[in-house]
Structure 1
Amino acid sequence: MMRGAIFLLSFAISFFPWPASVSAHDHEHMMKAAEPLSGTSIYNLTSGWTDQDGKRVKLETLRGEPVVVAMGYTRCKDICPMIVADMVAIEDRAKEASLKGIRFAFFSLDSAIDTPERLKTYAKDHGLDPAHWTLYQGDDKAVRELAAALGVRYRRDASGGFDHSAIITILDADGRIVAQQPDAQANTEEMVKKLTALFTPAAH
């Protein structure tokens, strides 16, 4: 009886394929999202964030593709533009290497000032492609949790801004840290090598 039920289920799946609107990539992403997260994944953090379009999301929405991550804030005039420039350099070099499906995420340290509207303007001013880039604003708890997970140290300075670490992180498709560049002026070639490794069979 059980064997017959399994046969009927298999037949039904083969006869009624996924809708045309669901691509193979989307199907893989949905299957991946159903799997339990590793204990070392930052996507286990449950705090919510708001993206530059005003959408409330969890970190886990980034799951499914490698992500290049950094933290900073829009009023920063020195180290943050360098961080973003380094991320753009990684993006450009990854494109030259024909790497596709890489996300870029910038998380603000400034919960009060960096509204979704401000983040959207910042992205536009810096030429960040919304097809690949997402900028996030979170409350103080969300910022503390993520900064701790990424090893980003920060504190308020006398001007109301932040002194903070300049760290660019690469996460694999499940949110595990696979590489970090601890200083501004990242080694672009090395970071792209780390990303390339995530697309090879040996990386899985």
Structure 2
Amino acid sequence: MRAACPANRGLAVARLALTLAWFFAAWSAAAADATLDRDYALKTSEAALGKRPANYAFTAADGRRVELAAFRGKPLVVSFVYTGCFQVCPAATQFLKLANEKAEEVLGKNRFALATIGFNLPFDSPAAMRDFARRQGAGADNWVFLSPEAAQRDALLADFGFSHVATPKGFDHLLQATILDTEGRIVKQVYGETFAMDAFVGPLKALVAGAPLPANDLGSMIEKVRLLCTVYDPVSGVYRLDYALFAEMLGGLLVIVATALFLLQDRRRAQRRP
């Protein structure tokens, strides 16, 4: 019985790798949800750094009229929620409550302000924001819950680099806490339902002290990579790892390996020819 030719074996491996690559690419395309473009959302968020949002007007949960310029003179942290969210927004807000408490332990009371803005109008009314704050136990003196004016909402979200997409279950949106300096410029975006406390407290501490902001470190870069590999699952209401992305990467790797094997076998055959 004749042994299989090494060249034929190499071609067989290459064909198998290409077949697997096609399978994983098809599977990942089918598994991908029509949700927020994570890469675009992150780039949009980062592009807002250094910008000063316009002086938008809001109605606070207690009915007061509030303008964004009123917060100048202190660092300001801004988060966006929609009150119809029953899991992710509440969880992120409750963690922000912990982060606010930790920052006040370090910096002292009322050294910075915190504003949570509802973006789903007309449903995120002052009454809805008041109820949302109550349910999260967010009653700190430095924290306000705001409803924007409908005519200004889109421009407001664009100025802060906040992206969202409507889905049958609600919204797929970027989880970000935006830090503004004392002059109202965006200086930091902190991502995630949870985050390292130093990523939040560190910039605020620097702003209060008038010191330069800490540079982005490896940890923040890893967090961005993790962010790009997560997706909001509207069924469970949580963010999860998007395995379709890993499948795409694996499929791409298989294509590279298959191509390399094919070229290697072709080169060996050429060398054996008289």
TM interval, short-chain normalised: 0.7 to 0.9
| Structure 1 spans left out of the alignment, 5+ residues | 1-38
Which of residues 145, 166, 178 is equivalent to 2:175? 166
> Does 2:125 correspond to 1:115?
yes
Contact 1:70 1:167 in 2 (8 A): yes
Contact 2:75 2:208 in 1 (8 A): no
Aligned length: 163
Contact 1:181 1:187 in 2 (8 A): no
Deviations 1:10-29 (A, max 9, x none): xxxxxxxxxxxxxxxxxxxx
Contact 1:105 1:135 in 2 (8 A): yes
Deviation for aligned residue 1:75? 1.2
**Alignment match, 2:146:** 136
Deviation for aligned residue 1:143? 2.1
Distance 2:113 2:158 in 1: 21
Which of residues 207, 217, 223 is equivalent to 1:198? 207
Please give the TM-score of this superposition, normalised by the length of structure 1: 0.72
Structure 2: which amino acid aligns with 1:142? Q
Contact 1:70 1:83 in 2 (8 A): no
Distance 1:169 1:177 in 2: 7
Q: With CA pairs under 8 Å and 6+ residues apart, which has the higher RCO, 1 or 2?
A: 2
Deviations 1:76-130 (A, max 9, x none): 1232123212311211111221333211100101111122122112212211125
Correspondences of 1:60-99 after superposition (within 5 Å): 60-99=69-108
Distance 1:108 1:47 in 2: 14
Q: Report the 3-state secondary structure (helix = DSSP H, G, I; strand = E; otherwise coil) of the residue aligned with 2:211.
A: helix
> Does 2:191 correspond to 1:187?
no
Contact 2:164 2:174 in 1 (8 A): yes
Contact 1:41 1:175 in 2 (8 A): yes
Between the aligned residues of both structures, percent identity stands at 29
Deviation for aligned residue 1:142? 2.2
Please give the TM-score of this superposition, normalised by the length of structure 2: 0.55
The structure having more radius of gyration, on CA atoms, is 2
| Structure 2 spans left out of the alignment, 5+ residues | 1-49, 214-274
Which of residues 34, 41, 48 is equivalent to 2:52? 41
More helix, by proportion: 2
Deviations 1:131-189 (A, max 9, x none): 21111112343221221122111122214x32211111111111111211122212212
Distance 1:63 1:190 in 2: 22
Deviation for aligned residue 1:202? 2.8
Q: Report the 3-state secondary structure (helix = DSSP H, G, I; strand = E; otherwise coil) of the residue aligned with 1:202.
A: coil
> Does 2:92 correspond to 1:51?
no
